[in-house]
Amino acid sequence: MSDDNTGQNVTDDIWGAALSEQAEAEKSAAQESQVAGASVFKDISNTTPVQGGAHPDLDFILDIPVQLTVELGRTKIAIKNLLQLAQGSVIELNGLAGEPMDVLVNGCLIAQGEVVVVNDKFGIRLTDITSPAERIRKLNR
């Protein structure tokens, strides 16, 4: 019977050592990722912008395309009414005439503006723009 207890103690010690080693490895990996994250992402809020308003550390992302959307308004419509739409149908939106339109980048509100027509083309004149810090904060969500 003493041989069984000794074998059991050896097995317990091996498992205990393995679990302890795994816990230390996970703790070490977590610390390394925090250090790596700190070195990759640095605070750019206090850096001075270069010409054009961009930060020098952001130059490598300036050519990335994003989806810009100008939203006139929204509405909910039943499928039966949607199927009845035809050319010339009018859909009532929740926005009022003359209200500023929302300008969204990748679905995040960054500005508001009003419709303008220049050389028979529609555009939007921005009337209210969120601050650069607020825009970055919204894009990080």
List pLDDT tens digits, range 79-107: 999 999 999 998 888 877 778 888 988 88
> pLDDT: is 32 or 77 the higher one?
77
User: What tens digit of pLDDT does each residue of 58-74 get?
Assistant: 777 888 898 888 888 88
> pLDDT: is 93 or 56 the higher one?
93
**Mean pLDDT to the nearest integer, 106-120:** 87
Angle at 17 between CA 14 and CA 23, to 5 degrees: 140
Dihedral (Cα; 63, 136, 49, 126), 10-degree rounding:
80
- In the CATH hierarchy, which top-level class contains the domain 56-139? mainly beta
> pLDDT: is 31 or 119 the higher one?
119
Least confident of 5-9, 29-33, 80-84, 114-118: 5-9
**Mean pLDDT to the nearest integer, 115-140:** 84
Query: From CA 101, how far away is CA 96, in angstroms rounded?
Result: 10
Q: Which conformational region is residue 139 in: left (phi greater than 0), alpha (psi within -120 to 50 degrees), or beta? A: alpha
Is 31 in contact with 23 (CB distance < 8 Å)?
A: no
Q: 3-state DSSP call for residue 70?
A: strand
Residue spans of beta strands (DSSP E) within the chain: 68-71, 101-105, 108-118, 121-129
Query: From CA 37, how far away is CA 48, in angstroms rounded?
Result: 23
Question: Can you give the residue ranges of every domain in the chain?
Answer: 1-41, 56-139
**Mean pLDDT to the nearest integer, 50-55:** 56
**Mean pLDDT to the nearest integer, 47-57:** 58
Q: pTM above the 0.75 mark?
A: no
Confidence at residue 25, expressed as pLDDT on a 0 to 100 scale: 75
Q: Give residue 61's Cα distance to chain centre.
A: 15
Is 70 in contact with 102 (CB distance < 8 Å)?
A: yes
